[in-house]
Structure 1
Amino acid sequence: MSGWPGRPRRPRPVRVPRLVRSLAVRLLSVAVLIAGLLAAPSAYAASGPATLQFPPGFLWGVSTSGFQSEGYFPDSNWTRYADRRANGVTDPYGNSVDFRHRYPSDLKLAKGLGVNVFRTSIEWARVEPRKGYRDPKALAYYDDLIRRIKANGMRPMLTLDHWVYPGWVADQGAWDNPRTQDDWLRNARFVVDRYKDQGVIWITFNEASAYIYKELTTRPMDLGQMLEMRDALLKTHRAAYDMIHKVDPGAPVSSNVAYGTAINGIFDAALFNDAADKLDFIGIDYYYGANLQNFTAVYAITGEFWKIDPEPEGLYYVLKNYQRRLPHLPVYVVESGMPTDDGKPRKDGYTRSDHLRDHIYWIQRAMADGVKMMGYNYWSLTDNYEWGSYRPRFGLYTVDALTDPTLERRPTDAVPTYRSIIANRGVRSGYVPVRKPGWCSIEDPVATCLGTTPTPPAAYRAPA
């Protein structure tokens, strides 16, 4: 966008050449690693039980988002990106997995897992498709959705912004325009006021760093616009935190941070670093890590997430490190999961069940070493539209969105596994992870490169 009414045009900053950006990222990654080797304290305690059972009342959940799963979506930045096949968009959106009409049965599937939290987003584009007009049908849908979440014994975790905004916001300049901050807060206050006093856990912005990156690559934006968006998200989150506590006193509020391995410092700078005083819990999304034996996390750049070799033990270090930074706050894994390539088994035999158990094991190790865990959400209940493609399959229930007109929900092997983990409050005592820890983890170089890693289980079993 070149400008908007009432604001003078400004010169566009010069775009940074791709090669320069690539070299800068590589140099920063090396710097982060060296800094970690020199300064990072050990993540491991020398004593304590190997694992600790999850406490009664622990929050077990599943995560999803409105745009990615609802279908029948109104005009928005992301329907436009999908229509014009923006950078990274390979599949048409269609109607995704039609959560908009299938939510009663999907909530039954979630209830059958034994979860007590259901996370989704209240989509601004659906609630206010035209500025100043709130769609009564959309409100009736969200009213019933939240009523049914609670009726199925689950607590709503509601995200106010999961990277999607109305088309009219895009037309006024999106986050380039300071008016968007006021419009966003006006809508947020309406939503919070409507669903206050219902035990909601509020998320303001989902993964601010990834939000900015997606806008940078699909919109696209230049460096100046990216920095403007970063400042706008930070200011808006801080204002939203205060507003929510006034409108819905006692409701916990956070903004979940995406963990980003070697460049995690950049990810944290998007919002987390300057919003630590406006968080009621540390929300972490963990999908992959890296170590000197495993640099496959680079496939996240290309969107080929199924090619990444998981690093379950990295979650332990991530939890410990964030807890050390904010020791007064509890920690919630807001998203964690494993993609497969269009639903096909991984070539190494590592299953969704293996992945789930291994990550839960390392969370239990972190709890045993002092991390104050509040909750864990699996991403996601069903497969959905992964920001331009249906190929990455994250669902506990798989759905062939492009080829199956019935959109049948078919359980994966992780459904009984998650049900068992919840019922037994963790993996069994003596569980041996399938995935053996790698050497010299980016998540904590001192602990893993210099010989202060934990005593591992006696043996690691190979995938079946």
Structure 2
Amino acid sequence: MASVSMPTDFLWGVAVAGHQIDGGDTTSDTSFLENVEPTVFVEPSGAACGSWEHWPEDLDLAAGLGLNAYRFSVEWCRIEPDRGVIDESALDHYEAIIDGCLERGLAPVVTFSHFTAPHWFACRGSWLAPEAAADFARFCDLVMERLGDRIAIAVTLNEPNLQRQLAGGFLPPQAWEGHAVTLDAASKAAGVERYRAGNVQRLDELELFEDAFERAHVAAREAIKARRPDLPVGLSLAVADEFALPGGEAARDKVREECYGRWLRLAEDDDFVGVQNYERILYGPEGRVATHPGQQEVEPLSLAGAVSYCHEVSGVPVLVSEHGMNTEDDEARCAFLTAALAGLDQAIADGVPVLGYCHWSLLDNYEWIFAFGPKFGLHAVDRVTLDRSAKRSAAVFAAEVARRSSQVARR
């Protein structure tokens, strides 16, 4: 930690992901899976939010909220559309985004893999291929060589534990059946024995993917640090606030170990751990207290619970790399944001070292197999014109940030 240049200012930002906002992606595993028949995806991502062209406007929106950080992903499939073939124009694109961030006072928080990977990578078995970790490390080195001098924080992998968490009751059985059918259809369409992807997995391969993600993270961290030892590096985890009712401690602890144990132990060697929290899960003596599969137990204080737990176990600082609420009711989002940030304030006051908070998301975007149904954005996006329009929650978030920033300035 002594050699790492950690951020001195609290990072207030928004988080986005390339495939979910860019549009026009034709070279990724996810775009291929969206378009096979049958597919578990409700619809293809298509133009998404058009951010490949509209990124300056998106950065202006973030800066206009008074933020000082912008989390985004560099898309491997754009930079290396075929194995060993580098698209310099894609690197130019990401360099422009990073420079655009810096010009607007936004610290670039860069995710090297936000679920998607190149189609060629998936055809070789994705992360399960023997050479996958080396391929990913090579990609990270390529990005660092060109862009690494201006990155503020590096996130290697986004939610490598998500599928394990979803298997605990967030997705109904038919969704997992849909995953398997989609992968079979993709294997046939691509003419390969085993087409695989990080964000569409088979239940019987969860542990294999987790082992592979662990190898990939370690290799990526080494490649990034080789270029810039002072750059803070970590991974981001999907973390529910696992809450034990009287007698539910054993059931809660079992789930914690299954979903987070290996990752928080892995994070002990990182500079921080990214926490992505959206819900609280209750446990009683008989296990998880029943809610409808996929339903969120929305509780603003779940954020404080999640960051406190992750720091306690890992011993490293926390970056809230995602947090938000899926709702069409923006007034509910406003109330949720205010209460959640107050809870985070208390966790920080209690001694949890938190580097920053990135809200998910700047825009209503493409939410994977659920397509454009979920609404997490501070801004709505017209599906036809791609025009952005601010919701009231954008102003509420800006006000919460401004109030805290002014308090710090007065100290």
- TM tier, smaller: 0.7 to 0.9
Q: Does 1:310 align with 2:298?
A: yes
Partners of 1:226 and 1:114 lie apart in 2 by: 40
CA contact (8 A) 1:257 1:285 kept: yes
TM-score normalised by L of structure 1: 0.72
Structure 1 residue aligned with 2:84: 132
Q: What is the distance in 1 between the residues matched to 2:265 and 2:124?
A: 27
Alignment partner for residue 326 of structure 1, among 293, 308, 314?
A: 314
Q: Given the alignment of the two structures, is residue 288 of structure 1 paired with residue 279 of structure 2, yes or no? A: yes
**2:217: which partner in 1?**
237
Is residue 360–residue 426 contact of structure 1 (8 Å, CA) maintained in 2?
A: no
Question: Does 1:272 find its partner at 2:272?
Answer: no
Q: Does the aligned pair in 1 maintain the 2:17–2:114 contact within 8 Å?
A: yes
Find the counterpart in structure 2 of residue 368 from structure 1: 349
SS at match of 2:214: helix
Deviation, 1:275, is 1.1
- Residue 23 of structure 2: which of 71, 82, 96 is its match? 71
What displacement does 1:423 show?
0.9
How far apart in 1 are the matches of 2:260 and 2:151? 28
Mapping of 1:48-447 within 5 angstroms? 57-84=9-36, 88-210=40-162, 217=179, 219=183, 221-222=201-202, 225-260=205-240, 261=242, 262=252, 263-269=255-261, 271-291=262-282, 298=291, 301-302=293-294, 308-327=296-315, 329-340=316-327, 344-345=328-329, 351-388=332-369, 389-401=371-383, 405-425=384-404
SS at match of 1:109: helix
Tell whether the 8 Å contact from 1:67 to 1:164 is kept in structure 2 after alignment. yes
- CA–CA distance in 2 between the matches of 1:224 and 1:97? 34
User: Take 2:132 and 2:89, find their aligned partners in 1: how far apart are those partners?
Assistant: 24
Paired residues of 2:278 and 2:302 also in contact (CA < 8 A): no
- Flag the structure with higher strand content: 2
Q: CA 1:382–1:191 in structure 2 vs 1: closer, same or farther (change >3 Å)? A: same
Q: Deviations over 1:18-70 (max 9, x none)?
A: xxxxxxxxxxxxxxxxxxxxxxxxxxxxxxxxxxxxx9821101000001100
Distance 1:370 1:137, change over 3 A: same
CA 1:221–1:107: 2 relative to 1, 3 Å: closer
Cα distance, 1:103 vs structure 2 = 0.4
Deviations 1:399-424 (A, max 9, x none): 133xxx21111111111111111111
Q: Is the 8 A contact 2:234 2:267 kept in 1?
A: no
Q: Distance in 2 between matches of 1:366 and 1:359?
A: 11
Which consecutive residues of structure 1, in runs of 5 or more, have no partner in the other structure?
A: 1-54, 429-464
Aligned pairs, number: 357
Aligned match of 1:48: none
How far apart, CA to CA, are the structure 2 residues paired with 1:248 and 1:425?
Answer: 31
Which residue type is aligned with residue 234 of structure 2? S
Which has more radius of gyration? 1
Secondary structure of the residue aligned to 1:62 is strand
CA RMSD of aligned residues (A): 2.6
Deviation at 1:179, TM superposition (A): 1.6
Q: Deviations for 1:67-110, whole angstroms, at most 9, x for unmatched residues?
A: 11000112221001211266541122111000000001110000
Contact 1:202-1:252 within 8 A present in 2 as well: yes
Measure, in 2, the Cα distance between the counterparts of 1:181 and 1:415.
39
Q: In 2 relative to 1, CA 198–298 (structure 1 residues): closer, same or farther, beyond 3 Å?
A: farther
73-82 or 256-265: bigger deviation: 256-265
- Measured after TM superposition, the shift of residue 183 of structure 1 is 1.3
Cα gap change, 1:122 to 1:296, in 2 (>3 Å): farther
Code of the residue aligned with 1:408 in structure 2: it is D
Compared CA separation, residues 134 and 121, structure 1 to 2 (3 A): same
Counterparts of 2:151 and 2:129 in 1: how far apart (Å)? 33
Q: Which amino acid is 2:270 matched to?
A: L
| Equivalent-residue separation in structure 2 for 1:95 and 1:279 (angstroms) | 36
- Alignment-mate amino acid for residue 310 of structure 1: V
Equivalents in 1 of 2:214, 2:265: separation in Å? 7
Q: Write the distance in 2 (CA, Å) between the matches of 1:86 and 1:339.
A: 27
SS in 2 for 1:196: helix
